[in-house]
Protein backbone atom coordinates (compact mmCIF):
# COMPACT_ATOMS: atom_id res chain seq x y z
CA UNK A 1 0.00 0.00 0.00
CA UNK A 2 1.06 3.58 -0.65
CA UNK A 3 1.35 5.52 2.60
CA UNK A 4 -1.13 8.36 2.82
CA UNK A 5 -3.05 7.32 -0.30
CA UNK A 6 -6.82 7.35 0.12
CA UNK A 7 -9.16 5.48 -2.21
CA UNK A 8 -11.18 7.94 -4.33
CA UNK A 9 -14.95 8.12 -4.15
CA UNK A 10 -16.68 6.17 -6.95
CA UNK A 11 -19.95 7.45 -8.42
CA UNK A 12 -22.12 5.07 -10.46
CA UNK A 13 -24.83 6.90 -12.41
CA UNK A 14 -27.48 4.75 -14.06
CA UNK A 15 -28.88 7.37 -16.40
CA UNK A 16 -27.79 10.47 -18.28
CA UNK A 17 -29.81 12.55 -15.81
CA UNK A 18 -27.90 11.09 -12.85
CA UNK A 19 -24.63 11.73 -14.65
CA UNK A 20 -25.60 15.39 -15.10
CA UNK A 21 -26.31 15.75 -11.38
CA UNK A 22 -22.99 14.17 -10.39
CA UNK A 23 -20.83 16.09 -12.86
CA UNK A 24 -22.45 19.36 -11.69
CA UNK A 25 -21.43 18.62 -8.10
CA UNK A 26 -18.04 17.14 -8.95
CA UNK A 27 -16.78 18.89 -12.11
CA UNK A 28 -13.19 17.62 -11.68
CA UNK A 29 -14.14 13.96 -11.36
CA UNK A 30 -12.43 11.48 -13.67
CA UNK A 31 -14.89 9.90 -16.12
CA UNK A 32 -14.18 6.16 -16.34
CA UNK A 33 -15.41 4.12 -19.31
CA UNK A 34 -13.42 0.94 -20.03
CA UNK A 35 -10.29 2.26 -18.32
CA UNK A 36 -7.85 0.71 -20.82
CA UNK A 37 -6.13 3.99 -21.67
CA UNK A 38 -6.08 5.39 -18.13
CA UNK A 39 -4.58 2.18 -16.72
CA UNK A 40 -1.91 2.15 -19.43
CA UNK A 41 -0.53 5.47 -18.19
CA UNK A 42 2.55 5.15 -16.02
CA UNK A 43 1.12 7.44 -13.31
CA UNK A 44 -2.46 6.18 -13.27
CA UNK A 45 -2.23 5.10 -9.63
CA UNK A 46 -1.91 6.61 -7.12
CA UNK A 47 -2.63 9.64 -9.30
CA UNK A 48 -4.78 12.14 -7.47
CA UNK A 49 -8.53 12.05 -8.20
CA UNK A 50 -9.65 15.34 -6.62
CA UNK A 51 -13.36 14.88 -7.22
CA UNK A 52 -13.50 11.10 -7.37
CA UNK A 53 -14.33 8.84 -10.31
CA UNK A 54 -17.56 8.59 -12.30
CA UNK A 55 -17.94 5.01 -13.49
CA UNK A 56 -20.17 4.72 -16.58
CA UNK A 57 -20.48 0.92 -16.42
CA UNK A 58 -24.08 0.99 -15.14
CA UNK A 59 -25.49 3.34 -17.79
CA UNK A 60 -27.52 0.92 -19.90
CA UNK A 61 -28.60 3.67 -22.31
CA UNK A 62 -25.00 3.87 -23.51
CA UNK A 63 -24.76 0.15 -24.35
CA UNK A 64 -27.26 -0.05 -27.21
CA UNK A 65 -26.73 -0.73 -30.91
CA UNK A 66 -29.60 0.25 -33.21
CA UNK A 67 -30.04 0.71 -36.95
CA UNK A 68 -32.55 1.88 -39.52
CA UNK A 69 -32.47 2.18 -43.31
CA UNK A 70 -30.00 5.07 -43.28
CA UNK A 71 -27.55 4.58 -40.42
CA UNK A 72 -26.43 2.56 -37.41
CA UNK A 73 -26.12 4.11 -33.94
CA UNK A 74 -23.68 2.73 -31.39
CA UNK A 75 -23.71 3.60 -27.70
CA UNK A 76 -20.52 4.96 -26.15
CA UNK A 77 -20.22 2.08 -23.66
CA UNK A 78 -20.39 -0.64 -26.32
CA UNK A 79 -17.05 -2.47 -26.32
CA UNK A 80 -14.97 -3.24 -29.38
CA UNK A 81 -15.65 -6.95 -28.89
CA UNK A 82 -19.42 -6.45 -28.63
CA UNK A 83 -19.47 -4.30 -31.75
CA UNK A 84 -17.47 -6.87 -33.70
CA UNK A 85 -19.81 -9.65 -32.62
CA UNK A 86 -23.03 -7.75 -33.28
CA UNK A 87 -22.03 -5.79 -36.34
CA UNK A 88 -20.60 -8.22 -38.85
CA UNK A 89 -23.61 -7.84 -41.13
CA UNK A 90 -23.99 -4.08 -40.85
CA UNK A 91 -20.51 -2.61 -40.35
CA UNK A 92 -18.19 -1.80 -43.28
CA UNK A 93 -15.12 -4.05 -43.59
CA UNK A 94 -12.81 -1.11 -42.85
CA UNK A 95 -14.41 -0.65 -39.43
CA UNK A 96 -14.35 -4.36 -38.64
CA UNK A 97 -10.63 -4.45 -39.46
CA UNK A 98 -10.07 -1.39 -37.27
CA UNK A 99 -11.81 -3.01 -34.31
CA UNK A 100 -9.73 -6.18 -34.71
CA UNK A 101 -6.56 -4.05 -34.59
CA UNK A 102 -7.41 -2.71 -31.12
CA UNK A 103 -5.18 -4.98 -29.05
CA UNK A 104 -5.84 -8.52 -27.89
CA UNK A 105 -9.26 -10.10 -27.31
CA UNK A 106 -8.91 -9.24 -23.62
CA UNK A 107 -8.31 -5.56 -24.48
CA UNK A 108 -11.18 -5.49 -26.99
CA UNK A 109 -13.49 -6.89 -24.34
CA UNK A 110 -12.71 -3.86 -22.15
CA UNK A 111 -12.10 -0.92 -24.48
CA UNK A 112 -15.23 1.13 -25.20
CA UNK A 113 -16.15 3.09 -28.31
CA UNK A 114 -16.70 6.36 -26.41
CA UNK A 115 -13.60 5.94 -24.27
CA UNK A 116 -11.42 5.45 -27.33
CA UNK A 117 -12.81 8.59 -28.98
CA UNK A 118 -12.49 10.76 -25.86
CA UNK A 119 -8.80 10.31 -25.06
CA UNK A 120 -7.79 13.92 -24.58
CA UNK A 121 -4.33 14.18 -26.11
CA UNK A 122 -3.82 11.59 -28.85
CA UNK A 123 -5.72 9.69 -31.53
CA UNK A 124 -5.68 6.02 -32.43
CA UNK A 125 -7.29 3.67 -34.93
CA UNK A 126 -10.99 4.13 -34.22
CA UNK A 127 -10.96 7.93 -34.52
CA UNK A 128 -9.10 7.62 -37.83
CA UNK A 129 -11.55 5.21 -39.42
CA UNK A 130 -14.71 6.90 -38.14
CA UNK A 131 -13.49 10.26 -39.47
CA UNK A 132 -12.96 8.61 -42.86
CA UNK A 133 -16.49 7.18 -42.79
CA UNK A 134 -17.94 10.64 -42.00
CA UNK A 135 -19.39 9.36 -38.72
CA UNK A 136 -20.87 11.78 -36.17
CA UNK A 137 -20.97 11.76 -32.38
CA UNK A 138 -23.68 12.94 -30.01
CA UNK A 139 -21.88 15.01 -27.39
CA UNK A 140 -23.42 16.55 -24.27
CA UNK A 141 -21.67 19.63 -22.86
CA UNK A 142 -21.90 20.40 -19.13
CA UNK A 143 -21.16 24.01 -18.22
CA UNK A 144 -22.13 25.48 -14.84
CA UNK A 145 -25.34 23.51 -14.55
CA UNK A 146 -26.34 23.95 -18.19
CA UNK A 147 -26.51 20.95 -20.52
CA UNK A 148 -26.44 21.27 -24.30
CA UNK A 149 -26.40 18.48 -26.87
CA UNK A 150 -24.70 18.62 -30.29
CA UNK A 151 -24.09 16.18 -33.13
CA UNK A 152 -20.47 16.72 -34.18
CA UNK A 153 -18.65 15.04 -37.08
CA UNK A 154 -15.85 12.86 -35.73
CA UNK A 155 -13.46 14.67 -38.07
CA UNK A 156 -14.19 17.95 -36.24
CA UNK A 157 -13.86 16.61 -32.70
CA UNK A 158 -10.06 17.03 -32.81
CA UNK A 159 -7.46 19.60 -33.79
CA UNK A 160 -4.79 18.85 -36.38
CA UNK A 161 -2.55 17.27 -33.74
CA UNK A 162 -5.33 14.94 -32.65
CA UNK A 163 -6.18 16.61 -29.36
CA UNK A 164 -9.80 16.62 -28.23
CA UNK A 165 -11.15 20.00 -29.30
CA UNK A 166 -13.91 20.82 -26.79
CA UNK A 167 -12.34 23.60 -24.74
CA UNK A 168 -12.61 23.55 -20.95
CA UNK A 169 -16.18 22.21 -20.78
CA UNK A 170 -16.91 18.76 -19.42
CA UNK A 171 -18.48 16.44 -21.96
CA UNK A 172 -20.17 13.08 -22.25
CA UNK A 173 -20.08 11.37 -25.63
CA UNK A 174 -23.23 9.24 -25.67
CA UNK A 175 -23.36 7.57 -29.10
CA UNK A 176 -22.01 7.62 -32.61
CA UNK A 177 -23.86 7.46 -35.92
CA UNK A 178 -22.51 5.86 -39.09
CA UNK A 179 -24.21 6.05 -42.48
CA UNK A 180 -24.82 2.80 -44.35
CA UNK A 181 -23.40 3.90 -47.72
CA UNK A 182 -19.80 2.76 -47.95
CA UNK A 183 -17.12 2.98 -50.61
CA UNK A 184 -16.41 0.12 -53.03
CA UNK A 185 -12.75 0.01 -52.04
CA UNK A 186 -11.77 0.32 -48.40
CA UNK A 187 -8.42 0.06 -46.70
CA UNK A 188 -7.22 0.29 -43.11
CA UNK A 189 -3.50 0.07 -42.38
CA UNK A 190 -1.72 0.30 -39.04
CA UNK A 191 2.07 0.27 -38.96
CA UNK A 192 4.08 0.25 -35.75
CA UNK A 193 2.83 -0.09 -32.19
CA UNK A 194 0.57 2.86 -31.24
CA UNK A 195 1.02 2.31 -27.48
CA UNK A 196 4.62 1.17 -26.99
CA UNK A 197 6.27 2.91 -29.96
CA UNK A 198 3.90 5.70 -30.92
CA UNK A 199 6.74 7.81 -32.38
CA UNK A 200 7.21 5.24 -35.17
CA UNK A 201 3.52 4.49 -35.70
CA UNK A 202 1.05 5.55 -38.34
CA UNK A 203 -2.61 4.80 -39.08
CA UNK A 204 -4.20 5.20 -42.50
CA UNK A 205 -7.88 4.72 -43.38
CA UNK A 206 -9.21 5.28 -46.89
CA UNK A 207 -12.33 4.48 -48.88
CA UNK A 208 -13.62 5.40 -52.30
CA UNK A 209 -16.83 4.94 -54.24
CA UNK A 210 -16.87 4.33 -57.97
CA UNK A 211 -19.48 5.46 -60.45
CA UNK A 212 -18.81 3.56 -63.67
CA UNK A 213 -15.36 4.76 -64.81
CA UNK A 214 -14.86 7.57 -62.34
CA UNK A 215 -14.60 8.21 -58.61
CA UNK A 216 -17.73 9.79 -57.20
CA UNK A 217 -16.27 10.06 -53.71
CA UNK A 218 -12.95 9.54 -51.96
CA UNK A 219 -12.17 10.10 -48.27
CA UNK A 220 -9.16 9.38 -46.11
CA UNK A 221 -7.58 10.18 -42.76
CA UNK A 222 -3.98 9.71 -41.64
CA UNK A 223 -3.00 9.71 -37.98
CA UNK A 224 0.39 9.76 -36.30
CA UNK A 225 -0.38 9.29 -32.57
CA UNK A 226 0.64 12.33 -30.53
CA UNK A 227 1.73 14.19 -33.67
CA UNK A 228 -0.95 14.59 -36.31
CA UNK A 229 -4.55 13.94 -37.26
CA UNK A 230 -4.71 14.77 -40.95
CA UNK A 231 -7.64 15.03 -43.35
CA UNK A 232 -6.97 16.64 -46.71
CA UNK A 233 -10.09 18.17 -48.21
CA UNK A 234 -7.97 19.42 -51.12
CA UNK A 235 -6.75 15.95 -52.10
CA UNK A 236 -10.17 14.42 -51.49
CA UNK A 237 -11.64 17.02 -53.84
CA UNK A 238 -9.03 16.28 -56.50
CA UNK A 239 -9.71 12.55 -56.31
CA UNK A 240 -13.51 12.82 -56.25
CA UNK A 241 -14.66 13.02 -59.83
CA UNK A 242 -11.38 11.70 -61.25
CA UNK A 243 -11.59 9.41 -64.26
CA UNK A 244 -10.36 5.86 -63.80
CA UNK A 245 -7.74 4.59 -64.26
CA UNK A 246 -5.68 7.46 -62.85
CA UNK A 247 -2.47 7.94 -64.83
CA UNK A 248 0.59 6.58 -62.94
CA UNK A 249 2.32 9.96 -63.15
CA UNK A 250 -0.66 11.62 -61.48
CA UNK A 251 -0.75 8.92 -58.82
CA UNK A 252 2.88 9.67 -58.06
CA UNK A 253 2.26 13.43 -58.04
CA UNK A 254 -0.71 13.10 -55.67
CA UNK A 255 1.27 10.93 -53.25
CA UNK A 256 4.06 13.51 -53.02
CA UNK A 257 1.48 16.29 -52.67
CA UNK A 258 0.28 14.43 -49.58
CA UNK A 259 3.84 14.36 -48.22
CA UNK A 260 4.20 18.10 -48.84
CA UNK A 261 0.96 18.77 -46.95
CA UNK A 262 2.00 16.61 -44.01
CA UNK A 263 5.46 18.18 -43.84
CA UNK A 264 4.07 21.71 -43.93
CA UNK A 265 1.38 21.15 -41.29
CA UNK A 266 3.08 18.64 -38.97
CA UNK A 267 6.81 19.19 -38.60
CA UNK A 268 7.37 16.43 -36.02
CA UNK A 269 6.53 13.51 -38.35
CA UNK A 270 9.63 11.46 -39.14
CA UNK A 271 10.84 10.75 -42.69
CA UNK A 272 10.10 7.05 -42.21
CA UNK A 273 6.51 7.74 -41.15
CA UNK A 274 6.03 10.08 -44.12
CA UNK A 275 7.37 7.56 -46.60
CA UNK A 276 5.28 4.70 -45.27
CA UNK A 277 2.12 6.82 -45.34
CA UNK A 278 2.92 7.94 -48.89
CA UNK A 279 3.37 4.38 -50.10
CA UNK A 280 0.11 3.24 -48.51
CA UNK A 281 -1.74 6.12 -50.17
CA UNK A 282 -0.08 5.40 -53.51
CA UNK A 283 -0.88 1.68 -53.24
CA UNK A 284 -4.53 2.52 -52.58
CA UNK A 285 -4.71 4.53 -55.82
CA UNK A 286 -3.06 1.71 -57.78
CA UNK A 287 -5.63 -0.72 -56.35
CA UNK A 288 -8.39 1.62 -57.54
CA UNK A 289 -6.87 1.49 -61.00
CA UNK A 290 -6.69 -2.30 -60.91
CA UNK A 291 -10.36 -2.59 -59.96
CA UNK A 292 -11.37 -0.22 -62.75
CA UNK A 293 -9.58 -2.40 -65.31
CA UNK A 294 -10.85 -5.75 -64.07
Asked if 65 and 122 sit in the same domain, the reply is: yes
- The arrangement of strands across the sheet holding 30-32 comes to 10-11, 53-55, 30-32
Asked if 243 and 118 sit in the same domain, the reply is: no
CATH code at 262?
3.30.390.50
Asked if 133 and 228 sit in the same domain, the reply is: no
**What total of structural domains would you count in the chain?**
2
Q: Are 13 and 54 in contact (CB under 8 A)?
A: yes
pLDDT tens digits, residue range 266-288? 989 999 999 999 999 999 999 99
pLDDT tens digits, residue range 208-241? 998 888 898 899 999 999 899 999 999 999 999 8
Q: Are 74 and 114 in contact (CB under 8 A)?
A: no
- Which residue, of 165, 182, 199, is where some domain finishes? 182
Asked if 86 and 144 sit in the same domain, the reply is: yes
Asked if 47 and 106 sit in the same domain, the reply is: yes
DSSP state of 154: G
Say what the pTM is: 0.91
Q: Rounded to the nearest 10 degrees, how much is the dihedral formed by the CA atoms of 174, 91, 255, 198? A: 50
Find, among 222, 262, 212, 214, the residue nearest to 240 by Cα: 214
Asked if 172 and 202 sit in the same domain, the reply is: no
Asked if 9 and 132 sit in the same domain, the reply is: yes
Name the residue range of residue 68's domain: 1-182
In this predicted structure, the answer to whether residue 153 has a pLDDT above a threshold of 90 is: yes
Please tell me the predicted confidence (pLDDT) of residue 6. Answer: 58
Please tell me the predicted confidence (pLDDT) of residue 293. Answer: 78
Amino acid sequence: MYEGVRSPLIYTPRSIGEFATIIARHPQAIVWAGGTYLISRGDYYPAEAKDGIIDLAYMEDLKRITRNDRYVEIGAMVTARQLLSAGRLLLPPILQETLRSMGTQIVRRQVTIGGSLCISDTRYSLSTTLATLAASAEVKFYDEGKVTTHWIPIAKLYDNKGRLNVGEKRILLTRIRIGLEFGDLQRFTLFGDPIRKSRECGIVALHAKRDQNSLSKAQFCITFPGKAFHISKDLESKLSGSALPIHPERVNALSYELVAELTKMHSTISDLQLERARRIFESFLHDLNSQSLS
